[in-house]
Structure 1
Amino acid sequence: MPLQRVHFVEDVPEVFRASLQDIRRELEVPAEFPPEVVAAAIEAAKNPRLPELDRTAVEFVTIDPPDSMDLDQALHIERAGDGYTVHYAIADVAAFVQPGDPIDREARRRGETLYAPDKRTPLHPPELSEGAASLLADQVRPAVLWTISVDANGESTDVVCERALVKSRAKLNYAGVQKDLDAGTASESLQLLREVGKLREQRELDRGGVNLPIPDQEIVTSNHGWGLEFRAPLPVEGWNAQISLLTGMAAADLMIGGEIGILRTLPESHEDLRRKLGATAKALGIDWPEGTSYAGFIHGLDPKVPAHAAMLAACTVLFRGAGYTAFSGSVPERPQHAAMKAEYAHVTAPLRRLVDRWTSEICLALSAGTEVPGWVRESMDDIPKIMDDADRRANAYERSIVGMVEAGLVAEQVGSVFDGVITEVDQRENTRGTVVLSTLAIEGRVNGPTPLPLGQAVRVKLVEADIAKRVVAFELVA
């Protein structure tokens, strides 16, 4: 599920510090790594299992936020006739982690990296995730190398997955790459990233898939206090994401063909969800024409427009219910990820997500025509539950942080009246529901003396904004 992350542009305001600690304690977010895990990571960093295949001549680069050090992916794209060859190197965590060792056991306990405005809680010790296993610039690293042939229409025609040594030439960031692309000074590989990315976005739209360009929320301070602003993703972030999606779909095809794997699956959304999102769009003053699909509507949103950014954040509900499906010997009846309208697997973020180590091993074996390792077969049925539990904690973490920030934003305005739209009504008590404010795009609980008018504009009074409880609550104004 896409996450809406909150960033503090400057230091964390004092009013939030205690609440962040409370959130971590309530959700049992892991603290420091145990000494034996750190010791094992230090030793593993000295003695990785290196592949024989050398692809260090390929001029890979990484593209990430400027402060990222856990670099999972490096790419290089070249022309191949009227199509393209995509080289996508993924950090090979299995070169450092043995099944059942202290690092592996701790990673299974954590499941995935967790993000908060003031700190990151990594899946693996920094000695690996930000050091020996990370695809840092000018360092030779073991990687799972995906070589994907793409035709002139952006469709994948062939894929090879193998272990190789790689060497990134540069640690790039999105803003810098976008600037170079706009100025015409980017390398040929990055210009082809734009070409392939746009082709893949069109393929996504054609099949009715949804890939949300979720804006980040940034806390900014000024002489008037502090406020919440959206940072819209750059176009290059979407193009880069399309390479990851391309790889995940290629992985799913391998697994389905080999009748063994772990897919990322999502059932079709129901009509109630369509009505709720329609009400949210109305609250934000966005037209959703009758008969327009989710994909068509979402592709028309501009994340640089604050109301559209809020709508994209609301659309993350489309991804709720996503899970992992492990299978062996027969393909699941419903293997698709409904939002993407395609079969899909997670394979591109093993430094930050546990399942990717298993799926990478499966794809390596299927691509080579060899047996899937015994430790993978023996443990793969455990991975969906581990990942589902980790996802629930990550989503609860995200919701708690967003709720904390929204409460802080209006904490001094209790008693004030706002315009909004009712986006949800409790089926058991129709005088209770959810309202979205039209100006601040804040969502909160609302009570009324009479049944709430779903989808209609209302006036509501703020009756509670509690940072510690992460609660924003309103009453309907007659």
Structure 2
Amino acid sequence: MSHQYIALTPEARSTALAQALKALETEFEVRSEFPAEVLEEAERAIAGFELPPIDKRGIELVTIDPASSTDLDQALHLSRSGEGYLVHYAIADVPGFVALGGILDAETRLRGQTVYLPHRRISLHPESISEDAGSLLPNQDRSAYLWTFTLDAEGAVTDTGLQRAIVRSREKLSYVGVQESLDAGTATEMLQLLREIGLKRIELERARGGASLRIPSQEVECIDGTYKIVSDAPLPVEDWNAQISLMTGMEAARIMLEAKVGLLRTMPAPAQKDINIFRLQAKALGTTWEPTQPYGEFLRSLDLADPRQLALMHQATSLFRGATYTAIDGELPPDTVQAAIAAPYAHTTAPLRRLVDRFALLVCSYAVTGQEVPRGLREVLPTLPDLMNDSNRVVNKIERAAIDTVEAASLAHRVGERFRAVTLTGSEESSNGNHRSLGTLQLESPAVMAPFEGSAQAGVHVEVELVHADLASRKVLFRIVGA
């Protein structure tokens, strides 16, 4: 894991960046503050909250998240069970704090999800819930929706249970810390089981024909007033932990499909024309894709240390289009599958941070006990896809704008300098300069992704010169040296 630090030492530059980041909230009309009546309702909900009668505090759960996280949605415990495994997965009881049809409920529908910006986190719920009373913090009695999965020797689910219960997390672990302990051979048996089960679930995903993009993330972090752009591929433990969440979402989808009511996360299979184009791109970049090999298996085979294959992974985004939410009530829709997962799937495991998960948990809890899903809850479900799709569009834009802002601020004083980079998409320029198409590159250091001009194919190492970096417009431009 490598972090590229951008030190904003000149005071004026630092102040201008802070102001620009703050301005994003206004530009994108983010609901930055909670109205007084929302906060008051949240406090009343906390004061009147009653723990459920079922006591599962004897299960030694732990949370695994980024080290700085305090909005902890999930806690898990893994153990062996005969030839297979037993998985307990506790999800924060957000429905217990948010009354359907209340003021807080209405506010969360306007927000859609938590927004993570370099300078602050804009929560879906008041922090008194998301980072305290509702969060699965260590050594605290908490109400949770406790999933219990029985797995066979291959990691496949053979039985699923769900109940609202009192739980108590024993420890707050970080991805980095868990990965280090696993690599060093000092991890507990439970964490070793996370790896074991995670790898088996990945094999099941491969057998289903599932696929995933392994593009290194580009995010902005702020530590002690200094911003840094981080570009890292996920740690293996993040993939193994994600498999537990995916398993839960798949079981939640199964439960809702059987009940014929709920909300799925769906995505169509890639269009044949997009697969044909991607095959041509693979050939152009010198990578062999056998005709009989599924695209998910091909993506798993790519070596991201090879610039051509990294560029190809970026091109693969064309195969992952059209993700949305699909409400169910009665007649099932024609397509209920999330194509990348290669199975029906539902967002269920992050209710503190994402609106739809709260409703999916409620539907599942009614369905597993054989109760009729209340009319008021059913009436909300068809409205959620548009709310979440709108929220996703805004959040994607503001998070991209935040990265662009930090990149521009960090490079503004380096115009004219040269950098080493890898091209992610190609660029062409006519001999007379009258026509050009911009490509995209990734600097080796700092971890900046930006457009460039000049002629270069995708997937090659190049030397570029920074020709433009402007904080006001959030624009950065490089040019191939010698072009």
CA deviation vs aligned residue, 1:183-203 (integer Å, no higher than 9, x gap)? 443333222111111101111
* Letter of the structure 1 residue corresponding to residue 201 of structure 2: R
User: Is the 1:432–1:445 contact (alpha carbons within 8 Å) kept by the matching residues of 2?
Assistant: no
User: Is the 1:434–1:443 contact (alpha carbons within 8 Å) kept by the matching residues of 2?
Assistant: no
Deviation at 1:254, TM superposition (A): 1.0
Q: Is 1:233 aligned to residue 237 of structure 2?
A: no
Deviation at 1:267, TM superposition (A): 1.7
Secondary structure of 2:90's match?
A: strand
Secondary structure of 2:58's match?
A: coil
Aligned residue in 2 for 1:290: 289
Aligned residue in 2 for 1:92: 93
CA deviation vs aligned residue, 1:54-96 (integer Å, no higher than 9, x gap)? 2111111111112111110011112111111111110011111
The 1:271/1:228 distance shift into structure 2, 3 A limit, reads farther
CA deviation vs aligned residue, 1:217-273 (integer Å, no higher than 9, x gap)? 46699xxx9974533432211111110000001111111122111110112234675
User: Is the 2:220–2:230 contact (alpha carbons within 8 Å) kept by the matching residues of 1?
Assistant: yes
Matches of 1:430 and 1:73 in 2, distance apart?
Answer: 52
Q: Give unmatched runs, 5+ long, in structure 2.
A: 429-433
Aligned residue in 1 for 2:365: 364
* Letter of the structure 1 residue corresponding to residue 477 of structure 2: A
Matches of 1:176 and 1:474 in 2, distance apart?
Answer: 37
CA deviation vs aligned residue, 1:297-353 (integer Å, no higher than 9, x gap)? 432356788997787677556544211010111222111111111111000000000
Secondary structure of 1:336's match?
A: coil
Q: Is 1:423 aligned to residue 425 of structure 2?
A: yes
Aligned residue in 1 for 2:186: 185
Deviation at 1:27, TM superposition (A): 0.8
Matches of 2:208 and 2:415 in 1, distance apart?
Answer: 46
The range that moved more, 346-355 or 187-196, is 187-196
Matches of 1:27 and 1:370 in 2, distance apart?
Answer: 41
Aligned residue in 2 for 1:37: 38
The 1:232/1:438 distance shift into structure 2, 3 A limit, reads closer
Matches of 1:206 and 1:124 in 2, distance apart?
Answer: 39
* Letter of the structure 2 residue corresponding to residue 20 of structure 1: L
Secondary structure of 1:103's match?
A: helix
Aligned residue in 1 for 2:322: 321
Matches of 1:268 and 1:79 in 2, distance apart?
Answer: 36
Matches of 2:241 and 2:343 in 1, distance apart?
Answer: 18
* Letter of the structure 1 residue corresponding to residue 355 of structure 2: L
Q: For 1:122-201, what aligned pairs fall within 5 Å after superposition?
A: 122-201=123-202
User: Is the 1:262–1:325 contact (alpha carbons within 8 Å) kept by the matching residues of 2?
Assistant: yes
Q: For 1:267-278, what aligned pairs fall within 5 Å after superposition?
A: 267-270=268-271
Matches of 2:97 and 2:4 in 1, distance apart?
Answer: 31
Identify which of 414, 434, 440 aligns with 1:435: 440
Matches of 2:275 and 2:471 in 1, distance apart?
Answer: 31
Deviation at 1:133, TM superposition (A): 0.9
Matches of 1:168 and 1:191 in 2, distance apart?
Answer: 18
The range that moved more, 178-187 or 66-75, is 178-187
Matches of 1:226 and 1:135 in 2, distance apart?
Answer: 28
User: Is the 2:89–2:147 contact (alpha carbons within 8 Å) kept by the matching residues of 1?
Assistant: yes
Matches of 2:392 and 2:47 in 1, distance apart?
Answer: 32
Aligned residue in 1 for 2:60: 59
Secondary structure of 2:394's match?
A: helix
Q: Is 1:464 aligned to residue 465 of structure 2?
A: no
User: Is the 1:50–1:95 contact (alpha carbons within 8 Å) kept by the matching residues of 2?
Assistant: no
Aligned residues: 463
CA deviation vs aligned residue, 1:8-27 (integer Å, no higher than 9, x gap)? 78889445212212222111
Secondary structure of 2:43's match?
A: helix
Matches of 1:280 and 1:118 in 2, distance apart?
Answer: 38
Aligned residue in 1 for 2:256: 255
Matches of 1:45 and 1:316 in 2, distance apart?
Answer: 43
Matches of 1:282 and 1:398 in 2, distance apart?
Answer: 33
Deviation at 1:417, TM superposition (A): 7.1
Aligned residue in 1 for 2:431: none
Aligned residue in 2 for 1:3: none
User: Is the 1:94–1:357 contact (alpha carbons within 8 Å) kept by the matching residues of 2?
Assistant: yes
The range that moved more, 160-169 or 436-445, is 436-445
Matches of 1:400 and 1:184 in 2, distance apart?
Answer: 41
Matches of 1:41 and 1:330 in 2, distance apart?
Answer: 36
User: Is the 2:219–2:403 contact (alpha carbons within 8 Å) kept by the matching residues of 1?
Assistant: no
Secondary structure of 1:337's match?
A: coil
Q: Give unmatched runs, 5+ long, in structure 1.
A: 1-5
User: Is the 2:57–2:168 contact (alpha carbons within 8 Å) kept by the matching residues of 1?
Assistant: yes
CA deviation vs aligned residue, 1:107-136 (integer Å, no higher than 9, x gap)? 111000011122111000010111111111
Q: How many percent of aligned residue pairs carry the same amino acid?
A: 44
Matches of 2:336 and 2:286 in 1, distance apart?
Answer: 33
User: Is the 1:244–1:348 contact (alpha carbons within 8 Å) kept by the matching residues of 2?
Assistant: yes
The 1:315/1:422 distance shift into structure 2, 3 A limit, reads closer
User: Is the 1:49–1:96 contact (alpha carbons within 8 Å) kept by the matching residues of 2?
Assistant: no
- TM-score if structure 2 supplies the norm length? 0.84
Deviation at 1:280, TM superposition (A): 8.6
Matches of 1:137 and 1:310 in 2, distance apart?
Answer: 42
Deviation at 1:179, TM superposition (A): 2.8
Matches of 2:207 and 2:75 in 1, distance apart?
Answer: 28
Matches of 1:171 and 1:335 in 2, distance apart?
Answer: 35
CA deviation vs aligned residue, 1:388-446 (integer Å, no higher than 9, x gap)? 111111111221122223334543454567776472789xx984343335756755445
The 1:44/1:229 distance shift into structure 2, 3 A limit, reads closer
The range that moved more, 434-443 or 12-21, is 434-443
User: Is the 1:155–1:200 contact (alpha carbons within 8 Å) kept by the matching residues of 2?
Assistant: yes
User: Is the 1:8–1:220 contact (alpha carbons within 8 Å) kept by the matching residues of 2?
Assistant: no
The range that moved more, 324-333 or 11-20, is 11-20
* Letter of the structure 2 residue corresponding to residue 144 of structure 1: Y
The range that moved more, 200-209 or 64-73, is 200-209
User: Is the 1:445–1:474 contact (alpha carbons within 8 Å) kept by the matching residues of 2?
Assistant: yes
Matches of 1:361 and 1:237 in 2, distance apart?
Answer: 27
The 1:410/1:273 distance shift into structure 2, 3 A limit, reads farther
* Letter of the structure 2 residue corresponding to residue 79 of structure 1: R
